[in-house]
Amino acid sequence: MMRKPVCATLAVMMSLLFSPLSQAGQAWESYKARFFKPEGRIVDTGNGGVSHTEGQGFAMLMAVANDDKATFDKLWQWTNRTLKNNENGLFYWRYNPGESNPVADKNNASDGDVLIAWALLKADTRWHDKRYSTASDAITKSLIAHNMIRYAGYRVMLPGVQGFNLDSEVVLNPSYFVFPAWQAFADRSHQKVWRELIRDGQRLLGKMGSGKANLPTDWVSLEAGGKLEPAKTWPPRMSYDAIRIPLYVAWSDKHSQLLTPWRTWFNQFSREQTPAWVNVTTNEYAPYMMEGGLLAVRDLTMGQSSGEPEITAKDDYYSASLKMLVWLAEQ
């Protein structure tokens, strides 16, 4: 009689051990099947099969979350071998396999560098290998040296080393404000610069809303006198970049007041009738609606869990990535 509960417990344990992958695990396998090349790069199917540091960083975070060390190591080794700029310790932002020189553009993208460094920190925590955190520390040191400046009374991270500090203005991409990663760097290093970056990033975001929508645009100009307005060389839209702003804010603090304008804007529309972008100057809406990963970010922002991700044939690289990142943010 006494053995029955033990047998029942064993049966449950065995069924858990040999149960099919969770939906999240299946989503990761689907993601790899669609976007991961065996050499270790993630392919952006919406942009001609290029790879970029953003995608490498996204997938490295996913690999850690799914306890997939083999894939993580392939991603990191390819990134470090192929995209590393040995002059400044950062990474070339784009790899185009169709060009004779796949890394012709020598600029970095600071969000990609941040995501890679954050994933490396998480990898050490998960797999207890100091080589990962040592590499992370080297990247964050390079970011401080080459991408961070004080401007107009704010500590800011430039989107890239080259081309964004224009003397009379600095061009920022607020979707590069990866608050949970910055917080992880602050917690590890205890360097004041990261806490200043978080504080001033939040201050800036609180002032970046434009037009009737009262939302930040993908690219924002910060003038020397402190004035903020949509950057002149890009359409003045809350669009495919800016949608990552509420993702990173909610990932860091799901009760943040910085989510309020997003909730207000989303609330004007039913879920399936939410425009994919808005021009904050004219208040013109996209003629097509949010779907896939964009809707997953909307759900996160509104406090409505999307549940475990499901990658479908309709999802391109970016949509699938957003779905996976929203799931990570909810953990």
pLDDT one-digit tens code per residue, 209-234: 999 999 999 999 999 999 999 999 99
pLDDT of res. 22: 73
pLDDT of res. 21: 58
Place of tokens 């784009």: 94
Give the model confidence (pLDDT) of 7-16 as tens digits.
Answer: 555 554 444 4
Strand partners, 5: none
pLDDT of res. 17: 45
Judge whether residue 177 has pLDDT over 90: yes
DSSP 129: -
Full-model pTM? 0.93
pLDDT (average), residues 144-173: 96
3-state secondary structure of 289: strand
Give the pLDDT band (50/70/90) at residue 20. Answer: very low
pLDDT (average), residues 157-164: 96
Delineate the domains of the chain, giving CATH numbers in brackets: 22-330 (1.50.10.10)
Residues 6+ apart with CB under 8 A from 310: 23, 27, 323
pLDDT (average), residues 46-67: 96
CA angle 247, 253, 254 (to 5 degrees): 70
Catalytic positions, please? 54, 111
**Cα torsion through 234, 237, 238, 242, rounded to 10:** -10
Q: H/E element holding 71?
A: helix 69-82
Give the pLDDT band (50/70/90) at residue 71. Answer: very high
pLDDT of res. 8: 53
Largest CA distance in the chain: 82
